[in-house]
Structures are given as C-alpha cells and as structure tokens.
Amino acid sequence: MPTTSFRNTVDVGENPLVMPVLAALQAADKPLAIHELMAAIKAQHTLPTLDDDLQVALFQMNWLLMNALYQLQHNLLSEGYYLAIQTLHIELQSLSADASVADGQALKSDRLRDYYLDWQHFNGTTKADVDALLRGVWQQFTGRDQQADALAVLSLDEDADWATIRTRYRQLAARHHPDRGGDAQAFMRVRQAYECLQQARR
C-alpha cells in the first residue's frame, strides 16, 4: 500500500496526523492502546520531521497524536460518534441522541482536551520546558523509596545488580522506543528510572 508523506513543518492548527489517526481507528477491529495506534500510523505513513532533540521530539509527537484524537473526538460527536480516549483504550463508539448531548457537556470540561487543543503548547514548548516536565516526573523518584520505585518501573527486585539493571533497561527501551512503534511516555519513564538508578548505584 502506498505511503503518505507529510511536510517537514507543522503549521499552527494543521495537524498532519488527523487523517492517519482516523484511518487507523476506522480500520481497527478492537480498541487500540496509544502505542498500538502510533504503530498503525507509522506502518502506513511517513511521520513529520520534528525537533532534533530526542526528548523534545517525543513530546511533540505525543502532543500531535493527542491533538489529533481530541480534534476527532470533537468533530465526530456531531456525526453520532464518541471517540473514547484513554491510554490503553481508544475506540470509536456509536451514540444515541441523549448520550451525544451528555458527552458533549463532558467535552466542555475536559482540561486535558483543552491543553491538547491549544497550539501554544506545541509551538511554545522549549527544550527547557520539556526538561522541567521531566524533572516533575523525577519527583516520584525522590525520597526514601526512590530506588524501589525506579526498580518497580523496570520490573526488577531490590537486589538486582547493575548488570541486570542495564540489561533490563536496554530491553524495555527497545520495546517502548517510539521509533519502533512504542509508547513515548513509557519510554520516558523507563529512561528516567534507569538514570535514577545510575546516579544511585554507580
């Protein structure tokens, strides 16, 4: 099947992932997890070129995907469909008239939706901003149980040695890397857990 190429720049309000996301959802025979949706898109389309910095590029790709989902959620509601958006459950659902009204009210108060529909968060987020977001995630690893929390992210026991930690990190990083159809958020959590243990044990 021929692939679709996108432009190398993303203009405000013009998300090149909207139609590929819709096509992937229409072709799906079951609810999709976010990483499955991204893998389906990558299998059929050339993704836009984003920031040279890996962390910023991951943020931008995740933002574009979520923006596309929320655009579709809003637009499809008037056509009698509700797009359920959860990390492990993304699905188009038929609605009755009453349900359409109820879900329309719910959309108005969705703060996450408001965030991902505001293009300032895509165009105005710098590397420093992304680093600050990552430092916020780091807070879950601070305090008395920081190593235990990091080991839990890697699914390792507390007595795991450094060689085991490094091997497990490489396995999970390969599994979740966005370039291989993985979940960008899971990839970032794995990386941060590894860096936490690296500082504590080396």
What residue spans define the domains of the chain? 18-123, 127-201
Angstrom distance (rounded) from CA 39 to CA 166: 26
Angstrom distance (rounded) from CA 202 to CA 197: 8
The model carries a pTM of: 0.61
Residue at 14: amino acid letter: E
In this prediction, residues 60-70 reach a mean pLDDT of 91
In this prediction, residues 161-165 reach a mean pLDDT of 90
Residue at 100: amino acid letter: S
pLDDT digits (tens, 9 = 90+) for 8-55: 334 445 899 999 999 999 999 999 988 889 889 988 887 888 888 888
User: Which phi and psi angles does 93 have, rounded to 5°?
Assistant: -125, 135
Q: Give the contacts of 22 (CB within 8 A, at least 6 positions apart).
A: 72
What kind of architecture, by CATH, is found in domain 127-201? Orthogonal Bundle (1.10)
Would you place residue 107 in the very low, low, confident or very high pLDDT band (cuts 50, 70, 90)? low
- Quote the pLDDT of residue 167: 93
